[in-house]
Every structure is written in C-alpha cells, then in structure tokens.
Amino acid sequence: MLYKTIAKPVLFRMDPEKAHHLTIDGLSTAARIPGAMALLRGMYGVAESKELAMELWGIHFPNPIGLAAGLDKNAKAVTGFSSIGFGFMEVGTVTPKPQAGNELPRLFRLPPDLALINRMGFNNVGIDGMVENLRQTGKRRIPLAINIGKNKTTPNEKAEDDYRACIRALYEYGDFFVVNISSPNTPDLRNLQHGDDLSRLLAAVTEEMAAQQAKHSAAAKPILVKIAPDLNDDEVAYTIHTIQNSGVSGVIASNTTISREGLTHPNKGETGGLSGRPLTERSTRLIYQIYKATQGKLPIIGSGGIFSAQDAYEKIRAGASLVEVYTALIYEGPGLLQSINNGLRELMRRDGYTHISQAIGAAHRGN
C-alpha cells in the first residue's frame, strides 16, 4: 500500500532509468543501515511454507517466485531484494568488460499496457565490478543466479570466449548461471539461438562449468539458457532439441519480445524489448511448448507478464517449476510477492494439491 500511494507516484514522475537507479541505490544503501533489512522483512518478507518451498538442481528455494535479470544488473542490491519476499533472484546480465550500453533514453513505461520497453544494451560494470559487489554482499538469504552475456564488440564466432570468462570469474559467487542469448538489444545476439552457433556455445559453457567445478572441488552448479518468445514453432523445436542434447540444466522462457501487438501507449513505437502484461500469454504458451517437447524432463523457469497468483499458476501448470517477475514489481511494488505466494497456496488447495510441485505441467494432464 505504501508503494502505490507514496513511492510509485514519485517514481513514475521521474525518468524511468533515473527511478531505476534510485531504487537500486536506495536498496544498496539500506543494506548498510542497522535494522533496515529487518524492517523490510517485517513489511514485505514472505514466511517459508512447506507447500511452496522447492528443491531443484540440489538447491533449496524457499518459494518459487524469483526476480528476473535486468533489475539488479550489477548485483548492488542483492541483500535488499533478498529481504522482500523473493525465493531466488537473478543478477546481470554481466559481460566480461564493462560497457555503457545504448544511448539514452533507453527505458520507457507504457502504463495503460502495464508494460515496459527497454533497449539498455547490457549496460554493466563488467565481471570485476560484479565480483567486488558480490564479495561485499557476503552470505545470502536466497539462491542467486548470475545471468551472463557477451560484449557488444565481441563477434558471434568468439562469443564462447566471453561466456567462459564470465563463468571463470564468477563461478564461486553464483548458485546457478543463465546464458543470455535472447536479448534483442545486442546486435546479432539472438542468432546464437540457432544452428551450429548454439551447439558450439553450449558445448563451451558446459565444458567451462565442469572445469570450474573441478577447480573449486565443488558440487556441480546448474546452467540454464534464456530464450526469446519470438521463435516460431520450428525454431522452438530445434532450439529446445539442441539445448536438451547439450546437457544444460534447464531453460528460462522467456526474454522480452519485439512484438508490439495490442499496445495502446505512444511509446509502443520505441525500439527495444517489450516486457509486462502483453507478454503473459505468449510466454505461457512457450512454456507449454517446451514442456511438451521435452516430456517435462527439462526444468523451466517461467518469466513474462506475471502480475498475479493466477498468472504464476498458469505458468506452473504449463510446465514451469519456478517463475520470475520484473515489470509487475515496478507497477505493483514489493507487496506483489506476498500476494502471489498467498494466492498460489489458495489455488493449489482448490485443486487438491498438497505441494506446488504437483501442479507443474498439470495442463498437460488435463487436471
């Protein structure tokens, strides 16, 4: 309530990117103030429940709702986001070298459409900057995924070198990793979702993950691939077949879309990736396709247009084991997480489930 009545009106009068930085910097600063995180947990924290806690890839998730990549690009506010009810979070996308990203303005709100368009272009502090931020974060309360990408100036034929560099530098800091090959804002990046480029890239990252596991004498860490919602049916089938054969641990469906179907706000003409409510059905449909194509054997994190418990539940029923939010957090505020968790419990009980995992893929079973 405080967010919608006080914070949101102020933030929405600001330039979107300035509001973004204010939020991240504010959470980062608050983490260093004694008692501030306890206050946040008291206001927005979500108590772990046996019904929603998940075990996946040997990782314990206190609830299935995560923060998607792109909000905390540089891992500056991990402690803050860990205190408002998330069950896990992604940081990044990070690239080996720092890069400024695309020219301003590059982030746009579409309030009537409950959407955002961004063309940020992987602006980030690079792997050394993220390492320093994660060192300062110390012990974490929830699992952390690190979303990795290539620098804009790196040609696709050398992309694997960038992904390897990210894994080498950050392996000890992440609980799992996400290969981003689906942002529409880095030239030719989406071409890595197809053909020999994808096979070669995934062979390289799985090899590097194994090498780092051996080096650190650690348990194997999962690596997932994040794909676009704009693939046609044949492309989805081929991409998922390649991903499944590569030995990676799962897939995130999906990234932002370049579609502008159904938008009403004047900002619909801006170039970039669209997120939010217009992506809800598109991403759920993609999750359904992936689950069906893999017979439920490849874990899926569902992302795109989740504004309610019903949205999250439909993605879980379509085949997602976990889900992520981003744009809805901007529009609804941190109270969204309590609302989704409470609503999920009600929905699963309505359907006779005692644990949320029983709902995964239920749409394929006709129940």
Token pair of 93, please? 């996308």
| CA-based nearest residue to 100, from 185, 212, 226, 4 | 185
Q: CB within 8 A of 327, min separation 6: which ones?
A: 114, 115, 116, 275, 276, 277, 305
Check if the beta carbon of residue 278 is closer than 8 Å to that of residue 115: yes
Check if the beta carbon of residue 152 is closer than 8 Å to that of residue 199: no
Please pick, among 28, 82, 83, 183, the residue that the annotation labels catalytic: 183
Amino acid (one-letter) located at 348: M
Residues 275 and 117: their CA atoms lie apart, in Å, by 6
Check if the beta carbon of residue 275 is closer than 8 Å to that of residue 256: yes
Residues 202 and 222: their CA atoms lie apart, in Å, by 13
DSSP at 232: -
Residue 49: active-site member: no
CA distances from 110 to 260, 271, 282 (A): 12, 13, 18
User: Taking the CB of residue 63, how many other CB atoms lie within 10 A of it?
Assistant: 25
| CA-based nearest residue to 225, from 173, 281, 183, 165 | 183
Residue 56 parent element (H or E): strand 54-56
HSE of 271, CA atoms in CB hemisphere, 13 A: 11
Q: Which residues are catalytic, by number?
A: 183
